[in-house]
Amino acid sequence: MTLRNVYASKEGKAIGMGGLAVILLVLPRLLGGNDYLLQVATMMALYVVLASSLNLIIGFTGMYSLGHGAFYGMGAYTSAILSVNLGWPFWITMPLGGLLTALVGAFLGLATLRLRQTFLVFGTLAFGEIVRILIMNWSSLTRGPMGIPGIPPPKVFGTELTSSTHYYYLILVYAILMVFAIFRLYYSRIGRAWVAIREDEVAASSMGISVFGYKILAFTISCLIAGLAGAFYAHFVTFISADQFGMGESFLILTMVALGGTGSIAGPIIGACILIVIPEAFRFLAEYRMVLYGAMLIVVIVLKPEGLAGIKGLFMPTTGGRRRTTLFRREPKVAAVKAGGSQ
Amino acid sequence: MALLDVKDLVVHYGKINALKGVSLHLDKGDFVTLIGANGAGKTSLLGALSGLVQATSGTVTFKGGDLLNEAPEAYVKGGIAHVPEGRKIFGELSVEENLYAGAYIIKDKAQVKSLLERNYQLFPRLAERRKQEGGTLSGGEQQMLAIARGLMSDPEILYLDEPSLGIAPLLVDKIFEFIMQINAMGKTILLVEQNANLALQVAQYGYVLETGKITHEGNCARLREDDAIRCAYLGVNGNGN
Amino acid sequence: MFLQQLINGLAQGSLFALIAISFSLVWGLLRMVNFAMGEVYMLGAYAGWLVVMYATPNLGVALVAGFVIGWIVGWFIEKVAFKAMRGVPHIASLVCTIGFSFFLKELASALFRAETKSMPSYYSDTAFTFAEANISYLQIIMVVIAVVMMVLLQILFYRTKIGLAVRAVALDYRTASLMGMKVDRVTSLAFSLSGALAGFVGVLAATYYNAVNASMGFVAGLKGFTAAVFGGITSIPGAILGGYLLGAIENLSVKYMSSGYRDLVSYFILITFLLFRPNGILGKKAKL
Amino acid sequence: MQNKWHSLVGVTLLVGGATGAWAAPSTIHIALTAPITGDYAEYGNNFKHSVELAIEEINGKGGALGKKFELSVGDSKGDPKESAILAQKWTSDSTILAEIGDFTSTCCMASQPIYNRAGVIQLSPTASHTKFASGSKWSFSAYGTQYWEQPVMASLAVDKLKLKTAAILYINNDWGVDTQKFFKENFEKRGGKILAEESYFSGETDFNAVLTKLKGAKPDALFIATMYNDGALISKQREKMGWNLPVIGSSALYSPQLIQLGGTAVNGVYSNVSFFAKDPDPRIQSFVKTFETRYGNSPNFAAALAYDCVYLLAEAVKRANAMDRSAVRDALAATKDFKGLAGSITFTQDRDAIKSYKPVQVVNGDFQLVK
Amino acid sequence: MIMEIAKLEKHFGGLVAVQEVDLALAAGSIHAVIGPNGAGKTTFFNAITSIIPCDSGQITWKGERIEKLSPQSISAKGIARTFQNIRLFAFMSVLENVIAGTHNHFRSFVWGALTRNARYRREEKESREMAMALLEKVGLAEKHAEYARNLPYGEQRKLEIARALASRPDLLLLDEPAAGMNNTETEELEQFIRALRAEGLTVLIIEHDVKLIMGLADRITVLDHGVKIAEGTAAEIQNNEKVIEAYLGKRRV
Q: What is the model's pLDDT at position A339? A: 30
Mean pLDDT value across residues B105-124: 92
Please tell me the distance from the alpha carbon of residue A221 to that of residue A199, in angstroms, as a whole number.
20
pLDDT tens across B32-81, in order? 999 887 778 888 899 999 988 888 899 999 888 888 888 888 899 999 99
Give domain limits for chain A: 36-311
Please tell me the distance from the alpha carbon of residue B1 to that of residue B4, in angstroms, as a whole number.
9
Q: Sorting pLDDT into bands at 50, 70 and 90, what band is E248?
A: low
Distances in Å between the Cα of A121 and the Cα atoms of A125, C60, C86, C95, D113 are 6, 37, 19, 12, 36
pLDDT tens across E76-129, in order? 999 999 998 888 998 888 999 999 999 888 888 888 888 888 898 998 899 999
| B78 within some domain | no
Angstroms from E68 CA to nearest CA on chain B = 27
Angstroms from B138 CA to nearest CA on chain A = 27
Q: What is the model's pLDDT at position E172? A: 93
Q: What is the model's pLDDT at position D15? A: 44
Q: What is the model's pLDDT at position B86? A: 83
Spatial neighbors of A230 by CB under 8 A, at least 6 apart, are: A71, A72, A73, A74, A75, A76, A77, A79, A97, A101, A245
Contact B73 C180 (CB under 8 A): yes
Q: What is the model's pLDDT at position E249? A: 54
Greatest mean pLDDT among A125-129, D39-43, E242-246 lies in A125-129
Mean pLDDT value across residues A55-62: 90
Share of chain B above pLDDT 70, in %: 95
Domain that holds residue B118: 88-154
H/E stretch holding C88 reads none
| B125 within some domain | yes
Spatial neighbors of E135 by CB under 8 A, at least 6 apart, are: E94, E95, E98, E141, E144, E162
E with B: touching (≥3 Cβ pairs within 8 Å): yes
Mean pLDDT value across residues C45-66: 92
Chain C from 40 to 99: CB within 8 A of any D CB: none
Contacts of E253 in chain B (CB under 8 A): 176, 180, 201-202
pLDDT tens across D143-192, in order? 877 888 888 888 888 888 888 899 999 998 888 888 898 999 999 988 88
Share of chain A above pLDDT 70, in %: 87
pLDDT tens across B157-205, in order? 999 998 887 777 778 888 899 999 999 999 999 999 877 878 888 899 9
According to CATH, what is the number of the domain C2-276? 1.10.3470.10
Please tell me the distance from the alpha carbon of residue A164 to that of residue D87, in angstroms, as a whole number.
12
Which amino acid, C68? Answer: V
Q: Is the ipTM beyond the 0.90 threshold?
A: no
Identity of the residue in A134, A302, A323 whose CB atom sits nearest the CB atom of C96: A302
* B204 in reach of chain E (CB within 8 A): no
**C243 pLDDT above the threshold of 70:** yes
**E184 pLDDT above the threshold of 60:** yes
Give domain limits for chain E: 1-78+169-253, 88-167
Angstroms from B172 CA to nearest CA on chain C = 22
E with C: touching (≥3 Cβ pairs within 8 Å): no
Q: What is the model's pLDDT at position A4? A: 44
pLDDT tens across A303-316, in order? 888 888 877 666 54
Q: What is the model's pLDDT at position C183? A: 86
Q: D195 — phi, psi (to 5°)?
A: -90, -30
Contact E71 A205 (CB under 8 A): yes
Alpha-helical (H) ranges within chain B are 42-48, 72-78, 95-102, 109-122, 124-128, 139-151, 169-184, 196-202, 220-225, 227-233
pLDDT tens across E118-163, in order? 898 998 899 999 999 999 988 888 988 888 888 887 888 889 999 9
Angstroms from A341 CA to nearest CA on chain D = 38
Mean pLDDT value across residues E3-31: 87
Q: Within 10 Å of residue E187's Cβ, how many Cβ atoms?
A: 15
Stronger pLDDT, C286 or A52, i.e. the higher one: A52
Chain A from 109 to 168: CB within 8 A of any C CB: 111, 114-115, 117-119, 121-123, 125-127, 129-130, 133-134, 136-137
Q: What is the model's pLDDT at position E29? A: 92
Contact B211 E154 (CB under 8 A): yes
Residue of C169, C174, C175 best to disrupt the B interface, most CBs of B under 10 A? C175
The pairing of strands D343-347 and D353-354 is antiparallel
- Each residue's pLDDT tens digit in chain D (371 positions)? 444 444 444 444 444 444 444 444 578 899 999 998 888 888 898 899 999 999 998 998 888 888 888 999 999 988 888 898 899 888 888 888 899 988 988 899 888 988 988 889 999 998 888 888 888 889 999 887 788 888 888 888 888 888 889 999 999 888 888 889 899 999 998 888 899 999 988 888 888 888 888 988 899 999 999 988 889 889 988 888 888 888 998 888 888 888 888 888 888 899 888 888 888 888 889 899 999 999 888 888 889 899 999 999 998 988 888 888 888 899 989 888 888 888 888 888 888 888 888 888 888 888 888 87
**For the ranges A334-343, B208-217, C119-128, C272-281, which has the lowest average pLDDT?**
A334-343
| Cβ-contact A27, A168 below 8 angstroms | yes
Question: What end-to-end distance do the CA atoms of chain A give, in Å?
Answer: 47
Q: Sorting pLDDT into bands at 50, 70 and 90, what band is A318?
A: very low
H/E stretch holding D200 reads strand D193-200
Distances in Å between the Cα of D197 and the Cα atoms of C191, D152, D171, D193 are 43, 20, 11, 11
DSSP 3-state assignment of C103? Answer: helix
Calculate the CA dihedral of residues A198, A204, A208, A209 and round it to 10 degrees.
10
**A104 pLDDT above the threshold of 90:** yes
pLDDT tens across A191-240, in order? 999 999 988 888 999 988 999 999 999 999 999 999 999 999 998 888 88
Q: Which fold has domain D5-143+281-345?
A: Rossmann fold (3.40.50)
Half-sphere exposure of E109 (CA within 13 A, CB side): 7
Contact E153 B235 (CB under 8 A): no
Identity of the residue in C171, C178, C182 whose CB atom sits nearest the CB atom of B82: C178
Stronger pLDDT, A251 or B237, i.e. the higher one: A251
The chains found to touch D (3+ Cβ pairs under 8 angstroms) are: A, C
D228: burial class by Cβ within 10 Å (0-12, 13-18, 19+)? buried
Specify the domain boundaries for CATH 3.40.50.2300 within chain D: 5-143+281-345, 147-273
Contacts of A126 in chain C (CB under 8 A): 226, 267-268, 270-271, 274
| B15 within some domain | no
- Is CATH 3.40.50.2300 correct for D147-273? yes
Secondary structure E strands in E62-162? 64-65, 79-81
Please tell me the distance from the alpha carbon of residue C102 to that of residue D77, in angstroms, as a whole number.
12
**B115 pLDDT above the threshold of 90:** yes
| B99 within some domain | yes
Please tell me the distance from the alpha carbon of residue E19 to that of residue D67, in angstroms, as a whole number.
96
Identity of the residue in A195, A205, A318 whose CB atom sits nearest the CB atom of E92: A195
Angstroms from C27 CA to nearest CA on chain B = 16
Residues in chain C: 288
pTM attached to this predicted model: 0.87
**D45: nearest CA partner in chain C:** C114
pLDDT tens across E201-233, in order? 999 998 877 778 888 889 999 888 788 888 898
Q: Sorting pLDDT into bands at 50, 70 and 90, what band is C259?
A: confident
For domain E1-78+169-253, give the CATH superfamily. Answer: P-loop containing nucleotide triphosphate hydrolases (3.40.50.300)
The neighbouring-strand residues paired with B6 are B24, B60
Greatest mean pLDDT among A106-120, A149-163, C103-117, E158-172 lies in E158-172
- Is CATH 1.10.3470 correct for A36-311? yes
Distances in Å between the Cα of A100 and the Cα atoms of A97, A222, A226, A341, B1 are 5, 12, 11, 66, 77
